[in-house]
């Protein structure tokens, strides 16, 4: 199936790009990831990669030509002979949106945040029709499958028209707003779903009265629901909710209208707690950290320890290194090839003081070197688990534990210290 090659949007205020040069000729075989052409904007020159494998056909833009963002300039086809009609570069969406029914002004288009992106989900509007805007004011937020970004107005003026509603998917390059130089008498509000049929304009008088009679912190919002089940929320709210351990789905369950903003954070905090669920969630939450080190110094260290100091138990050496990385640990269990031995480490940094014990472990060390296993994510057990596996060049060390066993800082410190000791075990003796 042919894949259209379009002019990407490399900047939020970019309307078009200049084809500097084609790096592949019509009929050439291309592989996904190959550089197809160079494009120049007012800020940068970049290589654009192929998003599919096949043959370059239907090239319709020449070197030195300015092409509108989103315009089809070539195809990647299954056959070099599949030329077909050359794809025509469509007129910019701004020309349709600035017809007689719409105010005159500069169009703001749906940006292309990724080379393979065809559309973006408009999360919410930060300005209302009729509002005065500055070039660096955030106009709306857009979400793709990879990121959520704030889109700036790009020019000073007034928001004369909004051409999509929160929760709608808008094709890349299509106009979503118009900014006029003069304050509009009757700002326009449309949706993509309406197919361009103009809805009742919002009068300037109504806009002013609404601002005077309704508190800005609690505006009336339509209950918007994304079609694919995603929660519509601003990036800042998502970050704050994550930092404070809050679940945005509780707002959805409570019927709070989307999209959610930072102003909804207090509403989320005020929602009644579900009985026993927060405690259960905290108890079952887990931590999974991975460290990678170059080489494997442990066999050489074990040989040196046996010859120079008579320490012939390599498991005791591992237990000592692990115990020193977790100062509160008094017992470390070492599991190797199905067998397990526990060692008393007793808060000492002396490897010669490590002895076998029957006490329950504070830390489990699972040594999978010599097996075909290359990574492990087995969840927490009765104690935190450090797992050593072999990778192509060096070792991978994984820490799995429950959140109530180690706090985040202690878990990070444990894995860091143990990885350092395994990478350079002789430093442990200094």
pLDDT digit string, tens, across residues 251-290? 888 888 877 777 788 888 888 866 544 444 444 577 888 8
State the average pLDDT for the chain: 77
Inter-CA distances, 221 with 165, 233, 334, Å? 11, 13, 58
What is the number of alpha carbons within 13 Å of residue 297 lying toward its C-beta?
15
* 199-241: pLDDT as tens digits: 334 333 333 334 333 444 434 444 455 444 567 766 567 767 7
Given a contact cutoff of 8 angstroms between Cβ atoms, the answer to whether 86 and 43 are in contact is no
- The more confident residue out of 13 and 328 is 328
Q: Higher-confidence residue: 126 or 69?
A: 126
Look at 212 and 140; give whichever has higher pLDDT: 140
**Helix (H) or strand (E) run with residue 379 in it:** none
Bridge partners (DSSP) of residue 76 are: 3, 56
User: Is the model more confident about 218 or about 23?
Assistant: 23
d(CA 97, CA 101): 8
Alpha-carbon distance of 314 to 411, in angstroms, equals: 24
Structure tokens at 123: 């999360």
In the chain, the domains with their CATH numbers are 3-77 (2.40.50.100), 93-213 (2.40.50.100), 215-272 (no CATH), 286-429 (3.30.559.10)
Spatial CA neighbour of 36 closest among 72, 77, 5? 5
Q: Are 198 and 188 in contact (CB under 8 A)?
A: yes
On whether the CB atoms of residues 78 and 60 are closer than 8 A, the answer is no
Is the separation of the CB atoms in 412 and 399 below 8 Å?
Answer: no
Q: 109 with 192: CB under 8 angstroms?
A: no
Q: DSSP character for 260?
A: B
Of 39-43, 166-170, 176-180, 423-427, which gets the smallest average pLDDT? 39-43
Q: From CA 70, how far away is CA 381, in angstroms rounded?
A: 52
Q: Which residue has tokens 């199936």?
A: 1
pLDDT at residue 328 greater than cutoff 90: no
Q: Is the entire prediction scored with pTM above 0.85?
A: no
């Amino acid at each position: 199936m042919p894949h259209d090659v379009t002019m990407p949007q490399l900047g939020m205020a970019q309307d078009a790009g200049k084809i500097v040069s084609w790096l592949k000729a019509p009929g050439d075989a291309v592989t996904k990831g190959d550089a197809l052409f160079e494009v120049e904007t007012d800020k940068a020159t970049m290589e654009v990669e192929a998003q599919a494998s096949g043959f370059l056909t239907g090239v319709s833009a020449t070197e030195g030509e300015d092409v509108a963002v989103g315009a089809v300039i070539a195809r990647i086809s299954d056959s070099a002979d599949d030329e077909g009609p050359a794809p025509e570069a469509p007129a910019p969406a701004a020309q349709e949106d600035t017809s007689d029914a719409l105010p005159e002004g500069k169009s703001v288009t749906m940006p292309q945040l990724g080379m393979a992106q065809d559309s973006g989900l408009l999360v919410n509007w930060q300005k209302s029709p009729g509002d005065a805007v500055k070039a660096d004011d955030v106009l709306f937020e857009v979400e793709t499958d990879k990121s959520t970004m704030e889109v700036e107005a790009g020019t000073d003026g007034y928001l004369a028209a909004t051409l999509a509603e929160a929760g709608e998917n808008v094709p890349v390059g299509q106009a979503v707003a118009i900014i006029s130089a003069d304050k509009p008498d009757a700002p326009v509000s449309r949706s993509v779903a309406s197919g361009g049929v103009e809805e009742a304009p919002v009068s300037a008088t109504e806009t002013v009265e609404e601002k005077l009679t309704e508190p800005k912190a609690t505006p009336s919002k339509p209950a918007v629901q994304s079609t694919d089940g995603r929660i519509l929320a601003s990036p800042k709210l998502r970050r704050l909710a994550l930092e404070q351990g809050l679940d945005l789905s509780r707002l959805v369950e409570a019927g709070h209208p989307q999209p959610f903003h930072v102003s909804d954070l207090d509403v989320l905090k005020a929602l009644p707690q579900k009985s026993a669920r927060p405690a259960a969630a905290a108890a079952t939450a887990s931590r999974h950290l991975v460290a990678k080190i170059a080489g494997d110094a442990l066999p050489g260290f074990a040989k040196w320890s046996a010859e120079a100091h008579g320490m012939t138990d390599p498991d005791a050496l591992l237990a000592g290194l692990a115990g020193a990385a977790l100062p509160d640990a008094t017992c470390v269990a070492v599991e190797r090839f199905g067998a397990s031995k526990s060692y008393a480490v007793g808060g000492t940094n002396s490897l010669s003081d490590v002895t076998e014990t029957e006490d329950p472990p504070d830390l489990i060390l699972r040594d999978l070197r010599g097996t075909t296993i290359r990574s492990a994510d087995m969840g927490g057990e009765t104690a935190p688990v450090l797992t050593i596996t072999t990778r192509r060049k060096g070792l991978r060390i994984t820490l799995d534990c429950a959140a109530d066993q180690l706090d985040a800082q202690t878990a990070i410190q444990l894995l860091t210290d143990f990885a350092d000791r395994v990478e350079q075990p002789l430093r442990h003796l200094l």
